[in-house]
A = this chain, B = another copy of it.
Amino acid sequence: MSGSASFIAVDWGTTNRRIFRFDGGAVAHTEHDDRGAASVTDFAGEVAAIRERFGDLPMLLAGMVGSTVGWRVVPYVAALAGVDDLVAGLGWIDDRTAIVPGVSCSKNGRGDVMRGEEVQLLGAVAGWMVPPDALLAQPGTHCKWATMTGGRIAGFTTAMTGELFALLRGHSLLAGSLTADVTDSEAFREGLAEGARRDLAASLFGIRAASVLGLRDDADAASFASGVLIGADVAARMDDCAFEQVHILADAALGDLYAAAVAATGREPVIVDSHSAFARGILAIGDKAL
């Protein structure tokens, strides 16, 4: 592809997807819906329907569509992984439809995996939104923390911070206390400090004890609990962090909470638009692959 060609990209997660049409190296149109990989069985039919709506164009699919819950399992590319490595690892369905591989890494016998986040990471660098050597955080159900070296993904750690919060809110002894919205409040900041002690199981029971003893308003419990979880996540990542800046790829609300947590550790948070990063990343891949 010359960089001016047109194609369709799908950021296809487990529960949601975002579809982009690119014309001449820019996003011409984008749509978001809830037809995630886990709810789709006829992927060929879905792709045909997307082409009917967005144009009969080459397609790149990224994310969980390449996993066991998706269309076809595309093997992970091992870190160090840059754009060229992802292009070499594309899983071709036919000669104009390919799935972007995820990335794996391994350090000291501990392995980790990502699918979908790699496009944002490489796009953030390709689009000059972050330096080629940087630490990036992608908060969410499973928060990814990736180190970029020379513009490639060098290694990463996933923390199930968002999932733990959902488990506590949905099913734990604390569920009844965690119904309020999470805000960057004084309770959230107190939670960050508590989380930095990295004693999660005790800090979380402390929410119950504070409620029973009347030490904290139950309306503040959700923000405090989120602060504990995010504070523990961020504190663990700062242990051996050589970077003064932490770049955060997230939607506004969650990005602000992580930014506050990063700032509390004395580092400088920098928010990066995750949709722009994905677009730049998939453009870089399309430029070499299509």
A92 to chain B minimum Cβ distance, whole angstroms, is: 22
Q: Cα distance A157–B142 when bound, in Å?
A: 28
Copies in the complex: 2
The interface-forming segment of A193-201, A251-259, A262-270 is A193-201
Q: Is A229 an interface residue (CB 8 A)?
A: yes
Q: Which residues from 133 to 161 on chain A have a C-beta closer than 8 Å to any C-beta of chain B? A: 142-143, 157-161
The bracket for how many chain A residues form the interface is 35 or more
Closest B residue by C-beta to A200: B200
Chain B residues near A159 (CB, 8 Å)? Answer: 199, 201-202, 205
Q: Is A53 an interface residue (CB 8 A)?
A: no
Is the beta-carbon distance between B167 and A172 smaller than 8 angstroms?
yes
A116 to chain B minimum Cβ distance, whole angstroms, is: 14
Chain B residues near A205 (CB, 8 Å)? Answer: 112, 142, 158-160
Chain B residues near A202 (CB, 8 Å)? Answer: 157-160, 233, 236
Q: Is A206 an interface residue (CB 8 A)?
A: yes
Is the beta-carbon distance between B161 and A201 smaller than 8 angstroms?
yes
Q: Which residues from 107 to 146 on chain A have a C-beta closer than 8 Å to any C-beta of chain B? A: 109-113, 142-143
Q: Which residues of A contact B (CB under 8 A)?
A: 76, 104, 106, 109-113, 142-143, 157-161, 163-164, 167-168, 170-173, 194, 197-202, 204-206, 208-210, 212-213, 215, 229, 232-233, 236
Q: A111-B210, A158-B205 are in contact. List 9 more A-B contacts (CB 8 A).
A: A106-B213, A111-B206, A111-B215, A158-B206, A158-B209, A163-B173, A167-B168, A201-B236, A202-B236
Q: Can you list 28 A-B pairs with a CB-CB distance of less than 8 A?
A: A104-B209, A104-B213, A106-B213, A110-B194, A110-B209, A111-B209, A111-B210, A112-B209, A113-B208, A113-B212, A142-B205, A157-B202, A158-B202, A160-B172, A160-B173, A160-B201, A164-B201, A164-B204, A167-B167, A167-B168, A198-B198, A199-B232, A200-B232, A201-B232, A201-B233, A201-B236, A202-B233, A202-B236
